[in-house]
């Protein structure tokens, strides 16, 4: 029986994060391309909020 190492877990987490990120980007681009003005505005607002939170989290993680 193979035991999962910490590196295996970190790789799985990173892979899941990357796939989730690409899915969100793809859906956002589809909404920007096909959606109306209200949908486009909502996607841009939420995207900016998520980007700001991600940058803040990166700075907090970097300081540890």
Angle formed by the axes of helices 37-62 and 6-34, nearest 10°: 160
pLDDT of residue 44: 87
Tokens, residue 9 = 């877990």
H or E stretch including 49?
helix 37-62
pLDDT in tens, 1-55: 577 788 778 788 888 888 888 888 888 888 888 888 998 899 889 888 888 888 8
**Is residue 40 exposed (0-12), middle (13-18) or buried (19+ Cβ within 10 Å)?**
middle
Residue 18 tokens read as 């990357």
- Unique residue bearing structure tokens 């796939």: 19
Q: What is the pTM of this model?
A: 0.60
């Amino acid at each position: 029986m193979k035991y999962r190492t910490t590196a295996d877990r970190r790789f799985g987490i990173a892979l899941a994060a990357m796939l989730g990120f690409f899915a969100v980007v793809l859906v956002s681009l589809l909404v920007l391309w096909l959606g109306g003005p209200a949908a486009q505005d909502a996607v841009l607002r939420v995207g900016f909020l998520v980007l700001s939170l991600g940058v803040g989290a990166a700075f907090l993680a970097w300081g540890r």
